[in-house]
Structure formats: C-alpha cells, structure tokens
Structure 1
Amino acid sequence: MEILISLLYFFHEFLDANLDLFYLLALVLIFKDFINSKKRNLEVIKYMYVIILYGCLQIVLNPDIILLRLIINLAKMYINLFLFVYVKEMIFDLKFLRNIVYKTSFLFLLFIPISLVFKVPMLWRMNDFVNSYNQTRLKLFYYEPSELSFHAALVAVLLISFLLLDNNAREKRKIILYLISNSLLIVLSAGMGGIVSLVLGIVTIYLYKLVKSFNIKRILISFLLFFVSVSTLIYLMYSKNNFYLRVVDIFNGKDGSVVYRFNTSYEVMVQMLQKTNGLGVGFGNLNTDLTRSIYSAYGLVDVISNSFMYFIGEGGIISIVTLLFLLLFLLRRIKKEEGILKYGLLVFIVIYQVAGGYYTNPVNWIVYGIICNNYFMKTKGERL
C-alpha cells in the first residue's frame, strides 16, 4: 500500500492534470465502500448536499452556465471529499506515513541524476515564457514545474516534522539526505510558491517546537539559524542571482506572475461576485471561452491563479462560507500534542493554495484528511 501511494504521488499527473490518477484510486475506494456498505459515501453526501443545491440554483439563475462542466466539477468535488473522509477516518500509524514519505523521497532522489543526464521535454520545461528568470525548469512527470515544487516541498515539510520528532541518529541522517535531494528539486523547478510555502511551513513547525520546549539550547540554535539566514540573504544580494532578482521584482510589483496571481485574480474575482450578485460564474465554468471573454477586460487571461479565489469566483458566497467552515474545522481537529506536524502542514497547504494551485487537486484534500486524522499520531493502529 505504501509503495502504491508513493508511485501515485510521483506519477499522478503523468497522463494529464485533469486525469489525475488519484481520481481513479478514489473511484475504486468509492465502489469498495459502496459494496461493503460503509458509511463514507453518506458522510460525503452530507457535505455535498448544500453545494449540489447551490449548483442547481446556479443553473436556474445563470443561463450561460455550461451544464456538463458544472456536473464534472461537482463530481470532482465529490471525489475529493471522499478522499478527505477516507484519509480522515483511516486507522494507521506514524510509521505508515513515514514510509510513504521515505519511498516518495527515494523516487525523487533516484530521478535527480536521470533528469540531469536526459534533458527531455517529459522531465523539463524548456524555454519557459511564463518564468523569465529561469527558462529551463525541472518538472519530472508533473504537469508543470510549479507542481513539482509543490510536491517536493510538501514532502520536505513532513520530513522536517519527522526530524524534530525522531531521536534516532540513523533516521535523522536519512531524513537529512532526503531533505537535501528535495531541496535540490525545488531549486531546479524554480517554483516560488513551493519555496514560500515551504519556508513558512518550516518556520511554523520550528516556532511551535520552540514555544513547546523553550530552553537555552533552542535559543542559541535560533540565533544560529537567524545568522545563517541573514548571511544567505546577503550572499544572494551580492551575487545578484535569479532568485534574488525575482524577489526584488515581487516587492516592487514588477513580477508579472505574482501580479496576476494576486492583483489581477482578486480584481477578476470581485467583478465576478458583483456581476453575478454573489452567485458566482458557476462551478466548473470559470475556465470557459465565454467567461474569459466577459472578464478579459479585467485582466483574465486563462484562469485565476489562486485556488481560493478560483473557488470563490465560481461558487460565490457559498464558497466563502465553505472555506471559512473548512479552515475552522481543520483548526479544531488539531490537538496540542499533534501541533508540531499538523500546524506546519496546515500553514503550508493554505499558503500554497493562496499562491496557486486548484481547489480540485486531490492532494490538497488528502493533506486535509491527514490534518484531521486523530489516529496516526497516537496509535500504531491497523494499516488499511
């Protein structure tokens, strides 16, 4: 099971971003749940009930909605919610999650030398016109380089948590090796969203650990880390490398990608809410020729490059309520003894979706399920 999940995590966008292999896994689990007369499907229907009703309301009030797109989008939401409920209710131990992370990290490590030798389109994006700072970017088998950055950074957040939770010197050496290889992947993919999310996730984990066990040793380590960070920043400033130049442009409002992800996406979302009286343009209907033509005057080129704004633009007021409910639900499910792992995960996944991604990405909902799972941090349990 661990090997299967690791392979799925590594290859799940291999066919296409819209034909995610985790969807196929979820369909198998949904069918299995139905055959075994489990109650997970009933719980998902409970969550989906209001959203489905709202989708029907959108059909009635918005004649421009493409019905097939709405149905497909609601089906994706159902699949993602099922994955969330399944992972939330799974009984497994921390070793099970650790083994998945290790096996995934090994796959990443294995493909680093392969990708450096074979610079082919399947593994690399050449002449990237979107990112003018790094035009040759590693993507491995993901849809785009930023997705590789996200996936490698998510694994790195978990590895950092394991590093702080583990007292075994051998395990720590293995974790550090995998952290180095994952960091190299993030650098080669040049994904700013993954980098920022990773940094904030690590800071959250470390601050939680510092507050929980405050002592002189940790204060000294904190000063050392601060010194290393400042030294690195000074080096980047004087070296004038692409990463530093991009950060400067971001703060000066000159980075086109960041401007589109935040300023333009926000303006388009607001216009969508105003023009539809808070109803939204319809689930699954943002990425259509009609919607792009209507909102192109406000800067919409393809889609809104922000998971939450994308969801709000399509779902209107109900999406805002849903997101607030989801955030509160996640926070309430984190117990004090689980904070060192789960708060870092929560900050990471939220920040990344602010920076980009899609709310129908199943990995997001699997992470939500891990955050809400109350078993693996305290029991060996049964591996499902």
Structure 2
Amino acid sequence: MKVSLRTLKYIGFSLVLMFADILHNGNLNLIYLFGIFIIFRFLIKKRYFYHVEIRYLIPFLSIVLMFIIFTDQPFSTIKMFVYFGKLFINIALLLFFQYNFSKKNIREGMKFILATLSLLLTLALIFHNNNIFWRLNDPFNSFSKTRLQLLFSEPSVLGLFVGTLLIFSFYSFLEFGIDRLCMIGVVVPLICLVLSFSLSAMVYTAIVILYLVAKKILKVIPTKKLNERILVLIILILMMMFFIMITENPVRNRVLAILNGTDGSFNFRWNAATQSLFSILEKTNYLGLGFGNMNTEYGRSILESVGMSDIFANSFLYFIAEAGILGVFYIVFIINYCIKNIRKNKYLGQDDCTELKQGLLIYVFISQIAGGYFTDPFIWCLYGIICAKNLKRSGLKI
C-alpha cells in the first residue's frame, strides 16, 4: 500500500506529540527536534520569521542584559544559552502553527493521535500494574496513589495533553454534532484524564468546556430570552458542582483539602511559591535569579534561604523568579500578542473560530498558573494555534 508524504507527516507529528516527553527531561522534549526541523525546512525562507523572532527576542535579551549589567550574582552562561535556544525554537513553533495550522487537515491528524492514544490506553489497562504506563504509589497525591501517565513524564503532563484533545473534540461536537471520530475524541481523552487523577487538568479543562458551552448558548438564543438562558446555565453549573461535592470521589476530597489548607501539592505549587517569590525578588533587587539559574547550587541556596525545599512547580512564578519584575511584562507581552491576533483575525473576517481560540488561551493561561514550565514547546504550539490566521470551523471538524 502506497503511503503519501502528507500522511507520513501526520503520522510523524502524531508520534512526536505522543512520545515527546518519553525521555522525561524538559530539555530533550522531542517537539524541540520538530522545531529545529521546521526552522531549517520552512521558516528560514520566510521573511516574517525574522521579524517575529526579533520582536520576541529583543525583550528577552533586554532582560538578560539588565541582569548582567546591574547585578553581581553568579550565573551559568551555558544554562542561559540553553534557555535562549529553547525560546528561539519555541518562537519558531509559534510561527509555524500561526501561519500553517489552517492548511492542515485536522481530521487526519486527530485520527493518528487518537489511534496512538487508544493503543497506549489499551496496553495500560491490560498491564495495569506496570510502572511504565502508571505512576504507582504516588508520593505527591495522597488521594489517588495509582495514576495513569502513559509515556509522559508525569500524570499532570498527560492531563494537559488529553485536556487539549478534549477541548478540540468538544468544540467540534458543539459546532458540527457528533460522529464516530468525534465520539472517540471525547471518550478516550476523557478516560485518560480521569485515570490520571490530575485535578488541575480536570479543573481547567472543565472551565474551558463550560466557557465554550456558555458562548454557544449565548450565540444561538434570541436576545429577549438571554437572561433566562443565562440563569439556567448558572443553575446547571451549580448543580454539577453540588453533585461533585456531595459524592465521595478523589476530586471532592482534594478540593476540600485545598480549601482546608491541607493539600501539600497545592500549598507547594502556589502558597509557598508566591510567598517565596517576593522574598527572592527582594534579595535580587527585583532582577531575578537569572535564566536557568534557579536549578543551580546558588539558586537552590537562595530558595532554601526563603524556605523553599525545591524549585518552583509553577510556570509563571518560576519565570518571574528567574527574570525578575521584567518577567511580568514579558508574560503580558506574549498574552497580549495572542489577544491582538484573535481580535485582528475576527475583525478582518478571516476567522470564525474565535470561541475556540479564546478557550485555548484561557486553558494555556490557567495551566501555567497550575504548573508546567515556561519553555514547554507544547504550550508554544498552542500559542501558534491561538494566533493562527484563517482558522475556519470547517477545517476543525474531526
């Protein structure tokens, strides 16, 4: 059977996504290799590549320059160079998806991704005591000791990935109804998400899905019935939350632990991190530890001096701790770039997937508050999709 080059590309990228984190090292994420490939294969020939790269890199280099000139803190030149390289690749990924995502057949891509995910899930269910597919006796989650992680570095990373698939599938369901592939796109990722017991991924996936449902309701109903439908929507959300809280389940137990202040993971990811961040900024004259410097002997000594036992498990706070107060402006710069592109494409009439893009932006933003790391290439692929031009709904039917 003859296989076209286009099909091979879909299969290749699907495998890259599914096996991206198999080496369990952020610097060796396979999506970085894909980014290097597209730099030399596609983007290096495009004029816009240099314009946007410069637009993103100048603020970053300004932060580095300010750190070097106005601080006498020790830093690793190699780590800073590696950080710069990862950011350069991530910008290339953003550009690739921004200018090429609309030209891809999403249905074909989802077929290969869901087929691979279904195969791995089946193997995981058969070999349910295997530490390759499962995290056994999880030391961090006291409510669910056995958690699905497949070939990802940890269950929360799997949760982020399958949550994205759920958002695309649910959007397709709302706009076009359900067919066999769309049903698989909802059921298989949902099973993976539940078995991962990643509360953070469940929460921000649910938030985006509720947002998409609300936007759909507000779009299709007559204006005169708007207040009544909004009231019904609010009641349904409250009923769902009430049902979750009155039944015995790991999600309820962990939510209660967070509210009571006894959840160690939440306390470490947010409470301890936010308190320590201000101390770190004061100690470094608000210039930060320097890119790549937190996970060094010097960086860890600063963390220990402010009461942190380990590096931050929070993308934005981690970035600000290393970049200093200027890191806040860089985060705002990136988010604003995404918002401007959403508005621009909608204003020009080039886009009728505004709700999906808005939902993905909410997803990316919340997920980086909950955890992850700033240079995660998967996140930057999502940034590119959010900024994509001519992303018509018909191309998103799965």
Secondary structure, aligned partner of 1:92: helix
Match in the other structure for 1:65:
75
Match in the other structure for 1:90:
100
1:374 aligns with 2:389: yes
Aligned equivalents of 1:133, 1:37: Cα separation in 2: 50
The CA deviation at 1:34 is: 6.9
Greater Cα shift, 36-45 or 13-22:
36-45
Matched letter for residue 105 of structure 1: L
Match in the other structure for 2:255:
247
1:291 aligns with 2:317: no
Aligned equivalents of 1:152, 1:34: Cα separation in 2: 28
8 Å CA contact retained: 1:210, 1:218:
no
Per-residue CA deviations over 1:179-235 (Å, capped at 9, x if unaligned) read 12211111111111111110111111112212222247997798489548726743x
Aligned equivalents of 1:20, 1:295: Cα separation in 2: 26
Matched letter for residue 135 of structure 2: R
8 Å CA contact retained: 1:152, 1:182:
yes
Q: Of residues 111, 116, 136 in structure 1, which corresponds to 2:125?
A: 116
Aligned equivalents of 2:288, 2:385: Cα separation in 1: 30
Secondary structure, aligned partner of 2:105: helix
The CA deviation at 1:302 is: 2.1
Q: Structure 1, unaligned stretches of length 5 or more?
A: none
8 Å CA contact retained: 1:158, 1:345:
no
Secondary structure, aligned partner of 2:139: coil
Per-residue CA deviations over 1:43-80 (Å, capped at 9, x if unaligned) read 31332023123213323423311111111111111111
Matched letter for residue 266 of structure 1: T
Identity %: 29
Q: Of residues 278, 289, 303 in structure 2, which corresponds to 1:281?
A: 289
Greater Cα shift, 337-346 or 153-162:
337-346
1:206 aligns with 2:213: yes
Match in the other structure for 1:157:
167
Match in the other structure for 1:341:
356
The CA deviation at 1:341 is: 1.0
Aligned equivalents of 1:129, 1:16: Cα separation in 2: 18
Match in the other structure for 2:369:
354
Match in the other structure for 1:187:
194
Cα root mean square deviation, aligned: 2.5
8 Å CA contact retained: 2:280, 2:302:
no
Aligned equivalents of 1:57, 1:183: Cα separation in 2: 45
Secondary structure, aligned partner of 1:334: helix
Q: Of residues 52, 58, 80 in structure 1, which corresponds to 2:61?
A: 52
Greater Cα shift, 310-319 or 56-65:
56-65
Matched letter for residue 142 of structure 2: S
The CA deviation at 1:256 is: 1.0
Aligned equivalents of 1:35, 1:87: Cα separation in 2: 15
Aligned equivalents of 2:64, 2:166: Cα separation in 1: 37
Aligned equivalents of 1:348, 1:123: Cα separation in 2: 25
Gap change, CA 1:241 and 1:277, over 3 Å in 2: same
Aligned equivalents of 1:37, 1:231: Cα separation in 2: 49
Per-residue CA deviations over 1:248-288 (Å, capped at 9, x if unaligned) read 11111211111111111111221221111121110111122
1:303 aligns with 2:311: yes
1:80 aligns with 2:90: yes
Match in the other structure for 1:11:
19
1:30 aligns with 2:56: no
Secondary structure, aligned partner of 2:131: coil
Per-residue CA deviations over 1:335-368 (Å, capped at 9, x if unaligned) read 4432221111111111111101101100111101
Aligned equivalents of 1:224, 1:346: Cα separation in 2: 22
The CA deviation at 1:111 is: 1.9
8 Å CA contact retained: 2:158, 2:193:
yes
Gap change, CA 1:185 and 1:379, over 3 Å in 2: closer
Per-residue CA deviations over 1:138-175 (Å, capped at 9, x if unaligned) read 100101111011100011011111111214x5x3x431
Match in the other structure for 2:337:
329
Equivalenced residue count is 375
Secondary structure, aligned partner of 1:321: helix
TM-score normalized with structure 2 length = 0.87
Q: Of residues 178, 181, 189 in structure 2, which corresponds to 1:174?
A: 181
Aligned equivalents of 1:253, 1:353: Cα separation in 2: 21
Aligned equivalents of 1:36, 1:346: Cα separation in 2: 29
Aligned equivalents of 2:173, 2:356: Cα separation in 1: 10
Gap change, CA 1:3 and 1:217, over 3 Å in 2: farther
Aligned equivalents of 1:133, 1:92: Cα separation in 2: 41
Gap change, CA 1:316 and 1:223, over 3 Å in 2: same
Aligned equivalents of 2:202, 2:261: Cα separation in 1: 19
Secondary structure, aligned partner of 1:333: helix
The CA deviation at 1:91 is: 5.8
TM-score normalized with structure 1 length = 0.90
8 Å CA contact retained: 1:146, 1:191:
yes
Secondary structure, aligned partner of 2:132: coil
Gap change, CA 1:97 and 1:320, over 3 Å in 2: same
